Amino acid sequence: MNKSARQLVAELERLEPTVARAYLAEVQRLVGAASIAEVESLISVGNIAGVITALQFSEADLSQLLESIRGVYVTGGTIEAGSLRPPRGLGRAAIRFDVRNTRAETWLRTESSRLVVDIAAGQRDGIRAAVARGTEIGRNPRQTALDIVGRISRQTGRRSGGIVGLSGPQAQYVVNARAQLLSGDPEQMRQYFERVRRDRRFDSIVQRAIDAGKPVKAADVDRIVGRYSDRLLALRGETIARTESLSAFNAARNEVYEQGIQEGLFRADSVLKEWSTSGDGRTRDTHIAMDGQRQKQGEPFRSPSGAMLMFPGDTSLGAGAAEVIQCRCMSQTRVDWIGEAT
């Protein structure tokens, strides 16, 4: 990755915390408005669909998150357009990025809808897992409601430690951790120590329970699992921010060239794009293999996995999570202005 690409990554990393904070704020608003009594009542009669509906994210609920991603999109397009200057004497107008272009608006609308659906699906899976596991280990409806929505923190006065906002797998990690600590089975309880995101300050409490051959006290489990869940939620926010910001940033940069072609500022066959990896030791193997791959504008990059991407972070051609989650790659595009002059 050259200096120019590293500068783009640095700009993207500057924007990501705003996106992460927006997501966490949306989660806090939802749990803050939730009624524990309503969730408890729905669980008591087995109305899991009702629980899901009561705690579901809508597009309106995620408006701050979606607007922050739109801001990343605008920034990416503006930066790319500003770096693309036709040589003097060529008689070409300066490139301007139009976020109101129909294609740009369609991308933003489509990706916003996809993200809302993805978050809602994770929420649905997490609630189902929490209720099923709670029933299995003998949690009563109120306990399960609090496990889902979270408990009020004495320090902040806000609810935290629930599973709202987590991905489906993350929610499963949390409910499994609770079951392990409440089991009283030393073998199961030791498995808790394998959880990378746990708060190690609580390890001594768990170890004493193991040594005594007893379950961890319920109040301690609430604190331990709550802290574990909070850390997973922070990770969830960071993952959404990194993944969605990269996609929006690179989509807008790609859109600049599509608009330039559409406006007749240069020909499609004069535009060449190149895949560039971050080179930070965390790059996935498929993207290491793609480093330096060149394609004409409008043609997809091809991964060894068979996935096709118009730019790093693109899912429009069916690339799955394995190709885009927390990707740090960039595409670098150049216009052959000499060829344009002939």
For residue 222, what pLDDT is reported? 97
**Cα within 13 Å of Cα(320), Cβ side:** 4
Least Cα distance to 271 among 298, 239, 247 occurs for 298
> Are the beta carbons of 271 and 337 closer than 8 angstroms?
no
For residue 342, what pLDDT is reported? 61
Least Cα distance to 263 among 96, 100, 79 occurs for 96
Cα distances (angstroms) measured from residue 42 to each of 124, 212, 254, 332: 15, 37, 47, 52
Mean pLDDT by 10 residues, the chain (342 residues): 84 97 97 97 97 95 97 97 80 84 97 97 96 95 98 92 97 97 96 97 98 96 97 98 98 96 91 91 93 96 98 97 95 84 62
Burial class (CB in 10 A: 0-12, 13-18, 19+), 110: exposed
Nearest-angstrom CA–CA distance, 219 and 222? 5
- Show me where the domains of the chain are located: 3-265, 268-342
For residue 282, what pLDDT is reported? 85
For residue 340, what pLDDT is reported? 67
Tens digits of residue pLDDT in 272-321: 999 999 877 789 999 999 999 999 999 999 999 999 999 999 999 999 99
pTM: 0.94
User: What 8-state DSSP symbol labels residue 65?
Assistant: H
